[in-house]
Amino acid sequence: MRWLRENFFGGWASGVFTLLLILILWKALPPFIDWAFLDAVWRPDPKACRAGEGACWGFIAEKHRFILFGTYPYELHWRPAIATVLLIGLWIFSAFRVFWKWWLSIVWLVGLTLIGILMWGGIFGMRYVENERWGGMILTLLLTTFGLAFAFPLSILLALGRRSDMPVIRALCVGYIELIRGVPLISLLFMASVMLPLFLPSGVTIDKLLRAQIAMILFAAAYLAEVVRGGLQAIPKGQYDAAHALALPYWRRTYLIILPQALRISVPPLVNTFIGFFKDTSLVLIIGLFDLLSTIKISLQDRTWTGFGVEAYLFASLVYFAFCFAMSRYSRSFERQ
Amino acid sequence: MIEMIKVSKWFASFQALKEVDLAVGRGEKVVVCGPSGSGKSTLIRLVNRLEAHQEGRVIVDGVELTDDPRAIDTVRREVGMVFQSFNLFPHLTVLENLTLAPVWVKRVPRKEAEETAMHFLARVRIPEQAAKYPSQLSGGQQQRVAIARALCMRPKLMLFDEPTSALDPEMIKEVLDVMVELAREGMTMMVVTHEMGFAKTVADRVVFMDGGRVVEAAPPAEFFGAPKTDRAKLFLSQVLGH
């Protein structure tokens, strides 16, 4: 009771607010529960869905294979399924500090190779599947993983370059960052998918997935660079003085003294940008790649199932939320250490 | 050991040093004092090129400091520096602070660097703090770690830039004691400080600066006993007066 009073009725303002919230929940929650659970249709039966009052989870049940795996050959869905679990497993494994050893990079290398083998196939008697047909969950996760894996180191170089003593390097980095930041990601993706092939010599082709991936890396690097720069600027001048006085040369000074401190300060805004990037991968749908959100959109175009957009997008939101919330919680625990 | 010939230094249009001549011999201890803004910090920071001078010559242990990075590197390896705000690396333990430069600059094997570090930690009387982080230590302890860190590079010359100015009064003595001990062992030292007691006991020469110039340079007995200029008299009355 005491806890209740202190936390919810600490003052008149807090008390009024609590009552207001209770009222809103009392009005909104029962209808939502009715819709989402009690009246919901769970069987994949469009007729029952249209007749019923509640949510049509049958749609998700019916379409989950396509939503999760896109146009990947139906009978081979076990391959992206394992790949997805493997990739999520790698992320979770890497979240534990005790595993932050040199061999973690080997674990990733092996893991990503396995994922590549599973997705492409073509050896060990597995059928070859070209990456034009990859889609759904694994595509979102792969775009994020490789996007961040390349964009983050690139962003550190850009941020360092922007603070360099050498005017040419500084100008190049500032120019790059400002140029990319000044352009929407959508137009970068369009450029990558439409314009880039025009500049390549005939005969040379880079497939669509790789082009999108490169565009996303370039985009994310510009944003992350500014975050890292913020961290660099927060390092007191005395740290540089001490490093200079000890005769530490540039790269050792940067690697041993400056970056460890700068990146630690930047964890909250970095995670913020990571989360934004994870969600931005959904923009690849405009150039015809089937990530998680695109597969949902396409599922909705099925004649027999039109009109269940709320359920579909709620499901998408839940999946995205689960990943973003996990990242956010992890960053919180990281900041406390 | 240090030779400065007609050294001038500007920050934008402000001239911080005006044709300063100064020589510090091997084993000599020189205390630099003067009112704030007189250029004493700038002067000491020229010695390991934390600041660059624009006119004149600065020669440290036979190496002239120019824009040549090799010359700068050679000098910095020979010169240790202690700062007013300690400037320990907060993300490393005390021991790591001490071994970092020997391992990464001088390529000393880690085990040997750790032995050296423990030796100097014992000398500054805090060997039991080796595994702690700087933020867990008092100001006086941090400054002693900073001295030990500089000594681990086995410098020929030590620079102290107001080493006790950021300390609580009760911690000043523990740092000065370490410095006095170091002086007794024959280390060449250049010290910017307001601790006139330290100057009296340790210094071979006191250099008084004002307005970017060296106004007076004399042995402590002479400087404190019979300052020649009015500015030095005024300064001494202010520093010693309370």
Instruction: Calculate how close chain B gets to A265, using CA atoms only, in Å.
Output: 11
Q: Is residue A297 part of a domain?
A: yes
Two tokens at B126?
Answer: 């805090």
User: Is B238's pLDDT higher than 80?
Assistant: yes
Question: Which among A56-70, A116-130, A318-332 has the top mean pLDDT?
Answer: A318-332
Burial category of A313 from C-beta neighbours within 10 Å (exposed 0-12, middle 13-18, buried 19 and up) = middle
CB distance from A165 to chain B under 8 Å?
Answer: no
Interchain CB distance below 8 Å, A239 and B89: yes
pLDDT(B206) > 80: yes
Q: What is the pLDDT of residue B242?
A: 56
A265-322 per-position pLDDT tens digit? 998 899 899 999 988 888 888 787 888 888 888 888 877 777 777 888 888 888 889 9
- Flag whether pLDDT at A337 surpasses 70: no
Domain membership of residue A51 (yes or no) is no
Within a domain: residue A25? no
pLDDT digits (tens, 9 = 90+) for B50-93: 999 999 999 999 999 999 999 999 999 999 999 999 999 999 99
Question: Is residue A39 pLDDT above 60, yes or no?
Answer: yes
A143 in a domain, yes or no? yes
Q: Does A264 touch chain B (CB under 8 A)?
A: yes
Residue type at B10 in one-letter notation? W
| pLDDT, chain A, mean | 87
Question: Residue A141 domain-assigned?
Answer: yes
Cβ contacts from A onto B, under 8 A:
58
Q: What is the mean pLDDT of residues B166-172?
A: 92
What CATH number is associated with residue A319? 1.10.3720.10
The complex scores an ipTM of 0.94
- Answer whether A263 touches B (CB < 8 Å): no
Rounded mean pLDDT of A74-89?
89
Q: Do A245 and B91 touch (CB under 8 A)?
A: no
Structure tokens at B113: 């660097």
Percent of chain B residues topping a pLDDT of 70: 99
In a domain, A226, yes or no: yes
The total number of structural domains that make up chain A: 1
- Domain of residue A90: give its range: 63-336
Environment class of residue A252 by beta-carbon count within 10 Å: exposed (0-12), middle (13-18) or buried (19+)? middle
Bridge partners of B74, per DSSP, are none
Given a cut of 60, is residue A177 above it in pLDDT?
yes
Taking contacts as CB-CB distances below 8 angstroms, the residues of chain A near B81 are 241-242, 245
Does B150 contact A245 at a Cβ distance shorter than 8 Å? yes
Cβ contact, residue pair A246, B105, below 8 Å? yes
Contact between chains at A261 and B77 (C-beta distance less than 8 A): no
Q: What is the DSSP letter of B13?
A: T
Residue A160 placed within a domain: yes
- Total length of chain A: 337
Q: Minimal Cα distance from B84: which residue of A? A: A238
Residues of chain B with Cβ-Cβ distance to A258 below 8 Å are none
Residue A21 falls within a domain, yes or no?
A: no
Show contacts of B116-122: CB within 8 Å, 24+ apart.
B116/B152, B117/B148, B117/B152, B120/B148, B120/B151, B120/B152, B121/B94, B121/B95, B121/B145, B121/B148
Reported as a single tens digit per residue, the pLDDT across B141-160 is 999 999 999 999 999 999 99
The CA-CA-CA angle for residues A168, A171, A173, to 5°, reads 110
